[in-house]
Amino acid sequence: MKSRTTALTIIALTSLFTGSALASVEFTPSDDSVTSNLCVTAASGNKWKFHNQIKASALDKKYVAEEMTCNGLTVSAFVDQYGENGDSIKKYLNIQQQHIANVAHTN
């Protein structure tokens, strides 16, 4: 019984530290371009900061949602893979709604 408790404690602590390590990933832009900074902000999950950066950048949400890439991925795929609040960013960009509309137009 004692070895089972010890094993469960080790598993719980390992999970805790692994989760903390993954949550502490910090992105930095590879250059000072507008798109690199937008990608980093998108990954942070802060949709208000993301909104303000898009507004200040002279890019529009449609371009960001449909054409801009982050490390070779669409913004949607990038925030899904690396983002802290990917659903919020995708909702802000209307990515789910645009995809549904595009599918409906092609049928």
Higher pLDDT, residue 26 or 43: 43
Higher pLDDT, residue 39 or 32: 39
Burial class (CB in 10 A: 0-12, 13-18, 19+), 73: middle
The span from the CA of 9 to the CA of 28, in Å, is 35
The span from the CA of 88 to the CA of 91, in Å, is 5
Cα torsion angle, 31, 37, 39, 45, sign:
positive
CB 91 within 8 A of CB 85: no
pLDDT tens-digit readout, 20-35 = 444 556 778 878 899 9
pLDDT tens-digit readout, 48-90 = 999 999 999 999 999 999 999 999 999 999 999 999 889 999 9
